[in-house]
Amino acid sequence: MAKKILIVDDDKHIPKLTKAALDRAGYEVLVATDGMEALAAIERDRPDLVLLDVAMPNMDGFETLRRLKSATATCSIRIVIVTARDGDHDLTRAWRAGADGYLVKPFTPTGLLEMVKTVLNDLRAGEPRAQMWPRTPWQS
């Protein structure tokens, strides 16, 4: 059975391109446009992985991440922050909030698929978190 991935992004183009790459790789893909819609989709569809933008209307990605990681029913869902924000502050904030990965826009389809595979493989191996991209907060 294909792994289910939820893309959460208010941009019109990023989800379309991301979905195309994930579809070709054999994943089942769902799309939400903001944090509130994402919470409803997660409750309804229980994805294996959420690709979560930060800057969105109604509820930003950090608040969505916080809510998901603090709820017993959703705390084990893997979440990758996908954002144009590449500063150490945002990376550290995502890490501390429980993100399982961090992918900076623009990214390549190959980079996206490597992140997805890493996070999902770590899930099967029982690892607490995948490697952070492009770097961890303590690396220069």
The confidence score (pLDDT) of residue 86 equals 83
pTM: 0.87
pLDDT in tens, 100-131: 999 999 899 999 999 999 999 865 544 445 44
4-125 fold: Rossmann fold (3.40.50)
pLDDT in tens, 48-73: 999 999 999 999 999 999 999 999 99
Instruction: Name, in order, each residue with C-beta under 8 angstroms of 114's C-beta and a sequence gap of 6 or more.
Output: none
The length of the chain, given as a count of residues: 140
Tell me how far CA of residue 83 lies from CA of 26, 46, 71, 99, 105, in angstroms: 24, 22, 23, 12, 5
Burial class (CB in 10 A: 0-12, 13-18, 19+), 89: exposed
pLDDT in tens, 11-29: 989 999 999 999 999 999 9
The region of weakest confidence among 39-43, 72-76, 132-136 is: 132-136
